[in-house]
Structure 1
Amino acid sequence: MDTKHPVIRFNLRVGGVVIKHQQVLVCHEPQSDFWYLPGGRVELGEEAQAALAREISEELQVRPRVGRMLWVVENFFELSGCSFHEVALYFALDLPLQPTPDPLLGQEDGQDLWFRWIPLYNLPQVNLKPDFLKSALRALPVRTKHIVQRG
């Protein structure tokens, strides 16, 4: 490995913020120990809002309505022994789903995804990534906000 130029993976991601009745929709892969906002990777040549609509449609089999951009996040983290530099665009999102205490099962590329509604007041106790979301989801910004998150 070249120590002057370490291996790092770049990712352009979109995420959706769905808040209803003071609860936020989060998702989780069975093999991971953390939760995150629903969404996924933007494909080359794809607009961010279209990518988010596509990902949500694939995962939950519903048609979302993508709203305004809330955050642009530069996220630097380690996952499974790999370093990541991710730029994530988070949008307000409206879904034809209502909060339920039961988890929802979704799919992505044949892999199960679990979705759950979490009360906003419980977010500090949830392993939600990136970390800034634990407090930021409780007071959404009026204008798009730029965040740099490390770790």
Structure 2
Amino acid sequence: MKEIEFLARGVFSDGVGVLVCRNRKKGNCYLPGGHIEWNESAPAALAREMQEETGLACRVGRFLGAVEHTFRYKGRRTCEINLVFEMRMRGRRAGRPVPSREPKLEFFWWPLTRLDEIALQPSPLRRRLAGWLRNHGAVPWASTYPP
């Protein structure tokens, strides 16, 4: 049976830069976070994923928006819904190094105005993220599906 994956993503930002996660093997970049498990809230999933991936506790803040995303992986179509939240890492200030507990992952800071340069996925986040953070009437929904 085909399924839609639900993911919780976190935005740790100082308004200038944002924490990004990169898969070292595949090279793809995305906001930190991961899959929401059965009977788990999206904020709880984000906190759990950050603890697992960095060893650091995080405080999940306001909901920023959602992105439905479809792409091909290993010849198969993948469909996911990304729920995006503000977050803060306990004991860390924005811009400071964030450790990775998983060898395949690395975390780094990147300017919000240059997200196109690292091909952040899902792609609508490159244009929408700064507006969502400012909350100046930005529509908190985006999609990579054709209209």
Q: CA RMSD in A?
A: 2.2
Please point out which of 121, 140, 147 is paired with 1:145.
140
- Contact 2:18–2:112 (Cα < 8 Å) also in 1: yes
Partner of 2:108: 116
Distance 1:48 1:27, change over 3 A: same
**Structure 1 segments (4+ residues) deviating >2 Å:** 7-10, 141-144
More strand per residue: 1
Query: How many Å apart are 1:105 and its aligned residue?
Result: 4.1
With normalisation by structure 1, the TM-score equals: 0.82
Partner of 2:68: 74
Query: How many Å apart are 1:77 and its aligned residue?
Result: 1.1
Q: 1:81-96 alignment to 2 at 5 Å?
A: 81-96=75-90
Decide which structure has the larger Cα Rg and report it: 1
Spell out, residue by residue over 1:47-95, the C-alpha distance to the aligned partner (whole angstroms, 9 max, x if none): 1110111001111111111011111221111123221110111111111
* Distance in 2, Cα, partners of 1:148 & 1:40: 18
Structure 1 unaligned spans of 5+: 1-6
Structure 2 unaligned spans of 5+: none
More helix per residue: 2
Spell out, residue by residue over 1:80-125, the C-alpha distance to the aligned partner (whole angstroms, 9 max, x if none): 322111011111111132314x6x44134xx431001001222121
Paired residues in the alignment total: 141
Please point out which of 10, 22, 27 is paired with 2:16.
22
Partner of 1:54: 48
* Distance in 1, Cα, partners of 2:132 & 2:39: 29
